[in-house]
Structure 1
Amino acid sequence: MSITKPPIIVIGGPTASGKTDCGKEIAQKYNGVVISADSRQVYRGLDIGTGKDATFHQEMIDIVSPGTPFTIADYVLRTNKVISAVYQARKIPVCVGGTGYYIDAVLHNASFPTAHNALYRQSLEHMPTMQLTKELHTVDPRSAIRVGHNRRRIIRALEIVYVTGKPVPVQCKKLRYDPLIIILDPGPDALRARIASRLDSRLQSGMIQEVEHLRTYVDNHWLRNLGLEYKYISDYLDGIYTYEQMQLVLYTAICAYARRQRTWFRRYPDAQWITSPDEAYPLVDNFIKRYTISI
C-alpha cells in the first residue's frame, strides 16, 4: 500500500477523560511529540484551570500572554510548523486535546479569513451570549450551528462577517495528514466522577488564587469569555455565587461541556473509541506498522 500523507496520532475525547496521560505514554513509547490541542492552554498563566501537566514537554502550550488575540488561524499556522519540525526530527506528532475545532482544522489543512476589527470585537465582548448567538444565527446560520455555544468562536464569526460582509467560508474536508484518531471516553458515570474529583483537586490546589491573580492584569471580559473555571470563579469572586454554589454550577457546566465534546468527536466515522488508555496501544502498534520506513 502506498502512503502519500504523513502520519499523525490524535488522542481526543471529553474533558477529564485522561487524554493527556494517554498521549504522554504513547509519545514516550513510540518516539512521539505531544502537541496540545487545547484552546486555553496556549495562554501563559492559565495553569491550574486548564490542567497543564508540567511533568513532560508539550508543544503549543504557553505560547501567548493572557488577553492577546489568538485565533484558530494562528493555531493552525503554528501547529503545522511544529508538526513539520517533528517530522524533521524523525518523530511522530501526537495531537492531544479536547478542542475538536482545533484538531479538525489541523487535520484538514484549513485556512481562515484574517479579517479583524478590534473596536467591533470589543463591542461584542460586552453583549450577552444569547444575544450574540441570535445575531450569528441571523447573519451566518451555518457558522452558528458549527461553533455551538463557544462564546469566543461566536464573536470571531461575527467579526469576520462584519469585516468581509460575507459568511465564514466553509472549509474543504481534504485531509492533510494520515490520522489515527483515538477517542478516549470512560463513559458518562465514570466521567462525571472524574470531573468531580478533578474539580475538588484543582480548587484545593489554588485555582481560585490563580483566577484572582489573572484578574489583576487581564481584562475581566476576556477572562470570563474563557468560560468554565474562569467564568464561574470570577462570578464567585464578584459575589454572584457562594463557594458551594460556584462548585455546583461549575461542575454542572463542565459536565455539559463534556457532553458537547463527545458529540463533536462523533463526527469522525473512522475514529477508534476506547474506554481505557490500555486499549490505545494495539491501535497505535497497527498504525505504526503500516509505515515501511521510520518517521
Structure 2
Amino acid sequence: MDKPPLLVLVGPTAVGKTKLSLSIAKAWNGEILSGDSMQVYKGMDIGTAKIRPEEMEGIPHHFIDIVRPDQTFNTADFQRRARETIAEIASRGKLPFVVGGTGLYIESLVYGFEFSEGGADEAFRREQQAFLEAHGELALHARLREIDPASADRLHPNDHRRVIRALEVAHLTGIPQSEHLARQRRESPYRLCLLGLAMEREELYRRIEERVDQMMAEGFLDEVKRLLDEGYGRELPAMQGLGYKELSACLAGELGLEEAVALLKRNTRRFAKRQLSWFRHMREIHWVEAGSGKNFSKQMLEIDAIIAGKINR
C-alpha cells in the first residue's frame, strides 16, 4: 500500500516558519496542522505567536484553539488527532502540512511512536510535586539527571510536567524515558518530506528579542492577567508555558516588569537553542537557511525542488 504524503516544516521560534509555510501551502495545495504544543490552547494568542484568521490567506489551519488552558493535551493526543486529520486532508486531495517547533510532537507523528511507557502512578506524581514545592525545580531536575541524563539534557528545569513524567516513566518501567524514545521504530508511516528552517544565531536571537518586545506592545501582560482572572491558575501546565510563567510571576509581585521581560528573552533564547538541538538529531531533515540576506524567491525554488523529489517520488 502506498504511503500517504506528509510535508513537515520545523525550526526554532521566531525563525520565520509562519510566513514561509503560507507560501509553501499555496504552492502545493496544502492545509496546515500546527505542531506547536501551546497553540492548541484557546485564549493564549499573543504569547504563542498564534496566526490570526485574517493572516491565514485562505489556507485552512488545524490544531489551533482546540482545548481550554485547564484541559490536558499531550503528545499522544496530538499524534492520534493529527493522524486522523492528515487522513481526512489527504482524502480531499490536499497535501497535509505540519508546521511547528515542538520536537516531540513532530517526531512522534512522523515516526509513529507507540505510547506504552507504563501508564501512570498518581501517588508518585504527587510525591515529585511535593519535592518540587519543597526543594525547587533545580533539585527536581537533578533527580532526573541522576537516572536519565539524556532526558535531563532535553528538558528544561522549568518544564515541571515533563520532568515529572520522565521520572515517572523510569519509576514505572525501570528504563529511562530517553531509552524508550531511542527504541521507537524509526520508519515513517508517511511519504515524508522534512524541511528545517535555520538562520545565523545572532540574527535569530535579535528576532527573538524583537518578537518579545512586539508581544509586550500587543498586550501580552493583559492577556496573562485575563487568563488568571478567568481562573486559570499558575500551576496549570499551559500557564507554565514560555512567557506565561514569567509574566504571571510579575503580576504576583515576584518580579518587576523589566526583570520579567529580560527573563523571558533569556528563556526564549535558551528554548530556541534546545529546539535546534532536538531537530539537529532528527534524520532526513533538509535544512534551508533563512535570514534577512536571503532571497525569498530563490529559497522557494530550492524548497520546491526538495518537496518535488520527496513527495512526488
TM-score normalised by structure 1 residue count: 0.88
Aligned partner of 2:18 in structure 1 is: 20
**Distance across 2 between alignment mates of 1:53 and 1:143:** 31
**1:88 equivalenced with 2:101 (yes/no):** no
The alpha-carbon distance between structure 1 residues 177 and 20, as it changes in their structure 2 partners (threshold 3 A), is same
Q: CA deviation at 1:215?
A: 1.4
Q: CA deviation at 1:78?
A: 0.8
Aligned partner of 1:155 in structure 2 is: 164
Q: CA deviation at 1:161?
A: 3.9
Provide Cα deviations, 1:222-258, integer angstroms capped at 9, x if missing partner. 2576332011111111222211111211111111111
Q: Percent identity?
A: 32
**Distance across 2 between alignment mates of 1:161 and 1:225:** 26
Gaps of 5+ in 2: 291-295
Q: CA deviation at 1:99?
A: 0.7
The alpha-carbon distance between structure 1 residues 146 and 255, as it changes in their structure 2 partners (threshold 3 A), is closer
Q: CA deviation at 1:120?
A: 4.3
Q: CA deviation at 1:70?
A: 1.6
Aligned partner of 1:130 in structure 2 is: 138
Paired residue secondary structure (2:270): helix
Aligned partner of 1:204 in structure 2 is: 217
Aligned partner of 2:256 in structure 1 is: 242
Structure 1: which amino acid aligns with 2:143?
A: E
**Distance across 1 between alignment mates of 2:239 and 2:152:** 17
Q: CA deviation at 1:285?
A: 4.0
Structure 1: which amino acid aligns with 2:251?
A: L
Question: How many pairs align?
Answer: 291
Paired residue secondary structure (2:162): helix
Q: CA deviation at 1:141?
A: 4.4
**1:252 equivalenced with 2:266 (yes/no):** yes
Moved more, 15-24 or 110-119: 110-119
Q: CA deviation at 1:34?
A: 0.5
Provide Cα deviations, 1:139-162, integer angstroms capped at 9, x if missing partner. 444544454554332122233344
Moved more, 152-161 or 71-80: 152-161
**Distance across 1 between alignment mates of 2:248 and 2:281:** 33
Structure 2: which amino acid aligns with 1:175?
A: S
- Work out whether residues 223 and 230 of structure 1, in 8 Å CA contact, stay in contact via their aligned partners in 2: no
TM-score normalised by structure 2 residue count: 0.84
From 282, 297, 301, the equivalent of 1:268 is 282
Moved more, 206-215 or 129-138: 129-138
Aligned partner of 1:66 in structure 2 is: 69
**1:79 equivalenced with 2:82 (yes/no):** yes
Root-mean-square deviation (Å): 2.5
Moved more, 31-40 or 220-229: 220-229
- Work out whether residues 211 and 233 of structure 1, in 8 Å CA contact, stay in contact via their aligned partners in 2: yes
**Distance across 1 between alignment mates of 2:209 and 2:30:** 31
**Distance across 1 between alignment mates of 2:129 and 2:142:** 15
